Amino acid sequence: MTQHPADIELINGCINNNRKAQEQLYARFYGPMASICLRYTKNEDDAIEVLHNGFLKVYKNIHTYDMSKASLYTWIRKIVVNSAIDFIRQRNRFAVVELEKAEEPGIEADAVQRLSAQELLKLVQQLSPATQTVFNLYVIEGYNHREIANLIGISEGTSKWHLSEARRQLQKLLQTLQV
């Protein structure tokens, strides 16, 4: 994976604690990382806290970044997602529900398509923190239940339950919007 020369200069500046380079890195990735944080939190204040914690970890660990393994965006994104999970873990306990088979409630595609991204985000933010986290990791980030279980310290069955619960709650919220 080749890096753009400007990225290499930016990374080296951050490794050397150059404030200007850190500001440029923050400005460049603020928008996409803030969007990720909003998906995992209930409000903007919490999202900003997660974002700032994530960037502190980025600055602290940028010397470990290996451009041959991932793009800078992907590396930062992983740190920010993990920061969101840490934030949720600190504030909430994940419900331990063992379930091998979860019903999969359906959500009508046209109901979702009629919503704006902002409206959909507001619905996802109404889910409990644990359910919201599993939903984001599975649906948005593309993790499987085994990976989610390992990442947040729950069983695969609990992960499946949270995903099923997210779909059930979202279906119910969508129905109340259509009334």
Least confident of 9-13, 89-93, 161-165: 89-93
Q: Six-digit token pair at 128?
A: 């409990």
Between 140 and 95, residue with greater pLDDT: 140
Q: Read off the tokens for 178.
A: 């259509």
Residue 170 to residue 123: CA distance in whole angstroms: 7
Contact indicator for 136, 147 with CB cutoff of 8 Å = no
Assess whether pLDDT exceeds 70 at residue 108: no
- What the chain holds in terms of domains, given with CATH numbers, is 5-91 (1.10.1740.10), 109-178 (1.10.10.10)
Task: Please tell me the distance from the alpha carbon of residue 29 to that of residue 34, in angstroms, as a whole number.
Answer: 8
Counting Cβ atoms within 10 Å, is residue 2 exposed (0-12), middle (13-18) or buried (19+)? exposed
List the one residue out of 61, 83, 77, 81 whose CA is nearest residue 14. Answer: 61
Mean pLDDT of 157-173: 91
Q: How much is the mean pLDDT over the chain? A: 85
pLDDT confidence band for 1 (50 / 70 / 90)? low
In this prediction, residue 33 carries a pLDDT of: 97
Rounded CA separation 30/48 (Å): 10
Q: Indicate the pTM of the whole model.
A: 0.72
Q: Tell me which H or E stretch contains 109.
A: helix 109-113
Q: What is the pLDDT of residue 97?
A: 47
- Residue of 150, 23, 140, 7 lying closest to 65 (CA atoms): 7
Token pair for 78:
């992983």
For 43-54, what is each residue's pLDDT tens digit? 999 999 999 999
Mean pLDDT of all residues in 27-53: 94
What angle is formed at CA 171 by the lines to CA 170 and CA 176, rounded to 5 degrees?
95
